[in-house]
A and B are shown apart, each in its own frame.
Chain A
Amino acid sequence: MNSNELTETQPTNVVNGNGVHPLIRLAGVTKVFLTDEVETHALSGIHLDIREGEYISIAGPSGCGKTTLLSILGLLDTPSEGSYALKGHEVANLSFADRARVRNREIGFIFQSFNLIGDLSVFENVELPLTYRGMSAGDRKALVTEALERVGMAHRGKHLPSQLSGGQQQRVAVARALAGRPAILLADEPTGNLDSRNGEAVMQLLRELHQGGATICMVTHDERFAQHADRTVHLFDGQIVEDRMAA
């Protein structure tokens, strides 16, 4: 499949959050790591659908495969077995370049450790994924300004990350994830490096984004934060042991 098909034309089978076909469909996904002839099954037979507009949290104890699942969802890694359909298109076996393109246009990452680039200003950090799209400077500026305004950091555009608090840095990271209007936001322990007050603030921000229509998939080991999502999937030893909607 050409990744352009995924990014430049909307597949007809994805209609909305309640549509028949999900935004993401994992079917029988397995991930095996081989180290020194030892096989480690990080994920085993994962079946998971994520619909557009859904807010899903993936919870579980440390080492249960949450981050591996998120990496596969984010096209940072490929499954050993099984299929992965994004917007109805199979993406599990794309080339390196195509995966980069899909990642850039369809997926927004929010990391536990923010991962802002110290040499770049807040504005430039948010702009970074857009520069890989070959977008004009004017278009980029509009999208970056909009994203920063959404997270309440527009007034800090010229600052360097080191001049911001942890909570502010995570807001900037969220703005970077949002700026390209991706199909889904993938958040990996987004409050892990924050104190409880800032953690709550970031969770509130994600909630607001979801209410604005964003699809969010969040990995967390903290039950309190997992409850912010509409749906929680529990992983244990690489398998889904529970998939329940919020009450």
Chain B
Amino acid sequence: MQTFLQDLRFGFRMLRRSPGFSVLAILCLTLGIGTNAAVLSWIEGILIRPYPLVVHQDRMFALNATTRGENGFTGLAYPEFLDYEKNSTLFESFIVDRITGTTLSVGDRAERASGAIVSANYFDALGVKPILGRGFGPDEGEGRNAHPVTVIGYRTWKDRYGGDPNIIGRTQYLNGVQHTIIGVAPEEFHGTFIGYSFSFWVPVSMQETFDTGYKLEDRGARWIEGYAFLKPGVTRQQADAELHAISQRLEKDYPETNRGHDLSLSPLWRTPFNQAGNMTSTLTITMAVVFFVLLIACANVSNLLLARSLLRRHEMTMRLALGAGRRRLIKQLFTEGLILSLIAAVGGIAVAYWCRNALVLSFPSPAAGIVIDLPGRIDWRVLVASVAVCVGATMLFALMPAIHASHVDLSGALKTDGGGVVAGSSRSRLRSALVLVQVALSFVLLAGTGLLLQSLQRMQNTSPGFSTDVIVSGADLVSAGYNLERAKAFDTQLLDRVREIPGVESVTLSRLQPFSYGVFSTAPLTIDGYQTAPDEQLNSSYLEVGEDYFKTLGVPIVAGREFQRTDDENAVPVAIINETMAAKYWPRKDPIGQRLKVKDRWLQIVGVAKNVKYENKLELPRTFFYVPMRQNFLVSNALLIRTRETPGAIRAALAREVHALDPNLAPTAPFRVQEQVDRKGYTQRLAATLVAIFGAIALFLAGIGLYAVMSYSVSQSTRELGLRMALGANTRDLLRLVFLHGLQLTVAGIVFGGIAALILTRLMGNLLYKVSPHDPLAFGSALVVITIASLAACFLPAWRATRIDPVQALREQ
């Protein structure tokens, strides 16, 4: 212990004695450890333990409902959810948590607010106690629209109600229905939907108020998202087996709706219905990137320590001569390294703390009032992991120089230097290898950045299949208390009026805007004449749209016709299917005139529309169909306008027309569909941004590393350079010598980096869009950037080499 304290004291003294070295080493390590701590805090706060106030998060799993033959999460029907809850024995509780939205009036303006429809046991199961009032009682989950009560979020309580301590019992209109506020959630509780901070929660009995139609008794309507808590000691495998057994019983009992359905558990970081999936791949890549940054930082510091160990050769020799063992020397040098990395770890954690909410900056809010919540979390686990990173880094950067320095040739070193050989390479081989590693890692990061940037650009340049210049607006009729008939009359008149606004080419209605965060309607299907396989459950998403929808959005009708105004409740129910659906169910037939049954109603197919992207640009082609709005009218619709005007220019005209119909209504702020398309591409943009930032840091560190090595190499080769000058080398020869040395290291690093990049970039496949992981442009750009950076790093040492005084240099022994 005394020895350790002595080493610590000496280590601090050494740091003070060479402030330039200390600052540079600590800066490099702070960047390396800080970026790792920041990403660890994001992974902890967003993926591993996203709900800080929820007890037993380790036993909390997302419900992952699937249907055979369909990709991804398909949701649960409420009766089905109750069946699982009732029939399972290994679970402590099940909760419903379905994201929803409403419009809250704030002073004289309206703002969107996100919230959740939850089961009555929600707060009790999570172990979250409201700071005012109470959570929902068991009876409040039952009955159709029977319990208009709400628990509001802390931020809403503070911002909207000024933190009124007497808030309980006051009322708030949510989707046109007066709700009584029964509780205020704690400040740190933002709901259980990764990515969003909710403003309110309502019990499941109020589903109809926030959704399309009453679904609590409908086994075909799969809208439930939720979680389950396992009993202590139960494994996920056991729980999955029980859920699977229940699924099979339900399939037998309800073959019409439950054929092929199954339910399993997903860890929170793979929750299928929130931002976890997107964030997982982005943060995994980011973690790999910052690990590379750490390796580069360690290589830099290792190089600095190696250089310093040569300067301290005499000290090491004396220590050995005075009886210190090699292990003792290694321990001393390791302690010095540990001091560096501990200081850097403190700096790194400060960086992580400062960056903990940085992800929100690159995640656009979908609408005013919607609060995005992607907090990093620095708890004891992040601290332990950061310390582990710090110790690991010390092992990486300090051990090699320590071993190197401890291997002094005692007899040789104590003799006066009378050698006639100038600067052999053996000393610099290790340092060069470290630079090579840095260049290789930087190349991998730059190639990855190039791929992501190209992918982002291609994604932005690729058409989703519809016109993104279309303007979205509308009026919040639900909050204004409109019923179906009144809404229908309002929307019909509004369409007629907007059509007359100068510059408007066409206008239509749609339940959801393109690339909406909302959820498409889904229903089990029956296809007339289509023979289903024994375990096949036909299901498809669909959208309710107005006449001129395809014309307005510029989606070609490849067969049949577009919806018309006459496709109303008095006409034959009709549908327009997409190309994928036509090919799947009517492969060798003309689908026009064929029928499909949805919710006990036969629809006649009148058109086939070209495939488009429905939710994001990365999705694969899938079956999809459209039904006419006038046969499936809803109160809440988006107004889509095709016009030559800008959203700003049309705003006043829109407001005039809406006011003309209802002076109490205002249109929502118009924006182009492109804005929403951009928002949906945030994951790729976030990944590209993060990798570009960390790639730039890596390049900077590698540049410093190369500069340090070249600079050190020049300073150690003063005699050789002086000799070359004496032998007739001119400025050009010396510049060439230094640049060639630097470029040799760079080229070797690029070769290794290229091989590593070819292997590693394949892991980015799911983040890339229409770009090969081995894209030559990305690799070529990385090569050019790293070569330029290397030349820049070599320039100063090379220039310094030409300034050497040969007489002075040759005098140095």
Contact = CB atoms under 8 A, between A and B. Distances in A.
A227 to B, nearest CB: 25
Nearest to A100: B730
A220 to B, nearest CB: 17
Given A115-B810, A118-B424, A170-B420, A97 B727 contact: no
B722 to A, nearest CB: 9
A124 B416 CA distance: 28
Interface in B705-751: 719-720, 723-731, 733
Interface in A87-135: 96-97, 100-101, 103-105, 109, 111, 113-119, 128-129, 132-133
A101 B728 CA distance: 6
B806 interface: yes
A71 interface: yes
Contacts of B724: 128, 132
B419 interface: yes
Interface residues of B, number: 25
Given A115-B723, A128-B724, A169 B421 contact: yes
A155 to B, nearest CB: 20
Nearest to B422: A117
A109 B728 CA distance: 10
A211 interface: no
A193 interface: yes
A115 B420 contact: yes
B807 interface: yes
A76 interface: yes
B422 A97 contact: no
Interface string B802-813: 000011001101
A166 interface: yes
Given A100-B725, A100-B730, A109-B726, A117 B720 contact: yes
A169 B811 CA distance: 18
A74 interface: yes
A66 B355 CA distance: 65
Contact of B723 (A96, A104, A117, A162): A117
B421 A116 contact: yes
Contact of B728 (A67, A100, A117): A100
B542 to A, nearest CB: 74
A161 interface: yes
Contacts of A97: 730-731
A118 B422 CA distance: 5
Nearest to A74: B726
Contacts of B806: 76
A117 B719 CA distance: 10
B726 A103 contact: yes
B501 interface: no
How many chain A residues sit at the interface, stated as a range, is 20 to 34
A166 B420 CA distance: 8
B727 A132 contact: yes
Contact of A119 (B425, B723, B813): B425
A132 B725 CA distance: 10
Interface centre among A96, A115, A132 (most CB of B within 10 A): A115
B162 interface: no
Contacts of B419: 113
Contacts of A169: 420-421
Contact of A129 (B424, B728, B730): B728
Interface string B422-453: 11110000000000000000000000000000
A129 B730 CA distance: 11
Nearest to A132: B728
A132 B733 contact: yes
Given A100-B730, A101-B728, A119 B424 contact: yes
Given A76-B806, A76-B807, A111-B810, A116 B422 contact: yes
Contacts of A96: 730-731
Contacts of A234: none
A86 to B, nearest CB: 14
Interface string A137-178: 000000000000000000000000110001001100100100
B421 A161 contact: yes
B729 A118 contact: no
Nearest to A71: B807
A243 interface: no
B459 to A, nearest CB: 50
Contacts of A105: 728
Nearest to B802: A96
B727 A103 contact: yes
A77 interface: yes
B372 to A, nearest CB: 58
B418 interface: yes
Interface string B399-427: 00000000000000000001111111100
A176 B425 contact: no
Interface centre among B419, B420, B425, B731 (most CB of A within 10 A): B420
A77 B808 CA distance: 10
Contacts of A128: 724, 727
B661 to A, nearest CB: 87
A71 B811 CA distance: 11
Interface in B480-507: none
Contacts of A113: 418-420, 813
B421 A129 contact: no
B419 to A, nearest CB: 7
A166 to B, nearest CB: 7
A111 B811 CA distance: 10
Nearest to B418: A193
Contacts of A74: 726
Given A76-B807, A111-B810, A113-B813, A100 B420 contact: no
Contacts of B421: 114, 116-118, 161-162, 169
Nearest to B421: A118
Contacts of A67: 811
A176 B422 CA distance: 15
Contacts of B424: 118-119, 162
A113 B422 CA distance: 9
A32 B720 CA distance: 26
Nearest to A97: B730
A77 to B, nearest CB: 5
Contacts of A103: 726-728
Interface in B789-813: 806-807, 810-811, 813
A186 B740 CA distance: 31
Interface in B326-354: none
A57 B423 CA distance: 30
A116 B806 CA distance: 15
Nearest to B426: A118
A103 B807 CA distance: 13
Contact of A118 (B425, B726, B811, B813): B425
Interface string B48-81: 0000000000000000000000000000000000
Contacts of A170: 420
Nearest 4 A-B pairs (CB), nearest first? A104-B728, A114-B420, A118-B424, A100-B730
16 contacts: A96-B730, A103-B726, A103-B728, A104-B729, A109-B727, A113-B813, A114-B420, A116-B422, A117-B720, A118-B424, A119-B423, A132-B728, A161-B421, A169-B420, A169-B421, A173-B420
Given A101-B728, A115-B719, 17 more contacts: A76-B807, A100-B730, A103-B726, A103-B727, A103-B728, A105-B728, A111-B810, A113-B418, A115-B422, A116-B421, A117-B423, A118-B423, A119-B425, A129-B728, A132-B727, A166-B420, A193-B420
